[in-house]
Chains A and B, each alone.
Chain A
Amino acid sequence: MHERVEIRLSGSGGQGLILAGIILAEAAILDGKNAVQSQSYGPEARGGASRAEVIISNINIDYPKVSNPDVLLALTEEAMLKYKYDLQQKGLLIIDSGIEKPEDSYKILQVPILETAKNQVGKIIVANILALGVLTMATGIVSKESIEKAVLERVPKRTKELNKKALYEGFKLGKTQ
């Protein structure tokens, strides 16, 4: 693993990306690594472009912000356009199928995150967890076991099965690409 891996999760406010960032950081800690999670938001509670950032490292993390993400996840086009500016040239862009694929040189993984959450899992609200499944399989930044444990420890008890299903659908989407 690199000394420092930077991940930015972005979408629209209310899509649960900050929770996804927290869960990703917790999974990294379960893997025995260091993790820092931070977020950026405006005064509004819903809508707009929202982002959560996670840094994972085997050593101490000093600067706590993402400067050149290795991975950018975008669930909306607005978020992608706003936050892809500093993605590393060798980085990975994971976008929802509803977004028009940009003409950029970095690796792009386009998968139906929102549609699968809505139709296969049954609730679009779990798109954030499904996206974590995609990200885990596509990057291997955290282990499948740890991300599952971290998801189940964070989500409300009555939604555990639903979230688990979303995560597994995400694993499938991340693997087939």
Chain B
Amino acid sequence: MSKKIILMQGNEACVEGALAAGMRFFAGYPITPSTEIAEISAEKLPKLGGKFIQMEDEIASMGAIIGASLTGFKSMTATSGPGFSLKQENIGFACLAEIPCVVVNVQRGGPSTGLPTLPAQGDVMQTRWGTHGDHPIIVISPSSVREVYDMTIRAFNLSEKYRVPCILLMDEVVAHMREKVELPEQSSIDIINRKYLNPSMSVYKPYMDYDGDGIPPMMNFGDGLPYHVTGLIHDISGFPSTNADVSKDLLNRLMSKIYNNLDDILEYENIYTEDAETVIVSFGSTARSVHRAVYLLRQEGFKVGMLRLKTIWPFAHKAIKKLKQTPVRNLLVAEMNFGQLLETVKASAEGAFRTYGLNKYNGELITPQEVINKVREVAKHA
């Protein structure tokens, strides 16, 4: 059973998804093209007993959602490139202290304040390496309004399950477009909550791997026993340590809790790749142009397909590896930047394909015709 069919904006779908996932705290500093997420959260959260705070800036917003999450509230913030830069320090804190939270980055043209109202995909690398130090992170990117809804729920689920910040990487096109959607009933949605420890226990080691899966259960701040949370390397008690084994073991656990679960975390979509000679790798709104181009090129008899990445980080190396068992000879990476994902795809291809970039960074969405022209050009080289 589905709810009624309506016209919904991407940013609105993000809030609806967040509320369905159980978000009850939002702190933010509104910025185009993410503003509607804060606006609608401010309207809807209080009605559900949740809290909305407009903070003094993005740094404080990120700090506030970390604090709220520690007390047990599912928490989110939303921003765009300039604000995302400011959040990086606290994102690193959340990675190390293992605080579940969702950060929405609606990409606009950059660098700096750039093109506030126009789309880009220039934050691909910043979502992976924006904060310093080796750290785990999960980044997912939707292509449609319905997918914004589903992926916001998934961002909360992944974040809660793995105790890691999850970045929902949107772009201006997906965020601002309105599209026909049919939302599912709440009862049909899978919700994952973090593992809780019974607050009545007498000794609590906040970073002890009680279950052996690399993910320590949490206790809400304020319930039961007091504990220590820090951005310093810490032992299982949560207190700082400079011990070499403690440092190594902590970083290994932080990485392995993500990299041991790639089958769960990685999502991608293959369209017509089984017999394709050229496969276009894409994500976000660009993938819609690519989809159109693939459809039109197939009508002309071109053997072309698409690999759409839904999970951006960790990178889906297995998706590229699988293409090595097909007739694919050319990979074309279409993105609204100078080629940020292209370098990773090249590394993953290990020379098995001729790899090209289709890049646009003028504040306009890549058009299907541009994809078609590039595919024809690539085919000539072959």
Contact = CB atoms under 8 A, between A and B. Distances in A.
A29 B7 CA distance: 8
B176 A38 contact: yes
A37 B117 contact: no
A52 to B, nearest CB: 10
B180 A35 contact: yes
A29 B6 contact: yes
Nearest to A41: B117
B287 to A, nearest CB: 9
Interface in A76-120: none
Contacts of B285: 64
A67 B369 contact: yes
Contact of B173 (A34, A64, A67): A64
A44 to B, nearest CB: 10
A148 to B, nearest CB: 16
Max chain A CB contacts within 10 Å: which of B179, B292, B365? B179
B369 A64 contact: no
B291 A29 contact: no
Max chain B CB contacts within 10 Å: which of A34, A62, A65? A62
Contact of B291 (A22, A35, A43, A62): A62
A73 interface: no
A16 to B, nearest CB: 15
Contacts of B291: 62-63
B352 to A, nearest CB: 28
Contacts of B179: 35-37, 61, 64
Interface string A31-74: 00011111111110000000000000000011111010000000
Contact of A43 (B116, B295, B368): B116
Interface in B362-382: 365, 367-369
A25 interface: yes
Contact of B177 (A38, A41, A42): A38
Contacts of A41: 117
Given A22-B7, A29-B6, A63-B288, A43 B117 contact: yes
Nearest to B173: A64
Nearest to B181: A29
A25 B173 CA distance: 17
A40 B369 CA distance: 20
A63 B288 CA distance: 5
Interface string A11-37: 000000000001001100100001111
B203 interface: no
A37 B292 contact: no
B365 A37 contact: no
A36 B178 contact: yes
Contacts of A61: 179
9 contacts: A22-B7, A25-B180, A35-B180, A36-B180, A37-B179, A38-B176, A40-B117, A62-B288, A64-B179
Interface of B: 5-7, 116-117, 173, 176-180, 285, 288-289, 291-292, 295, 365, 367-369
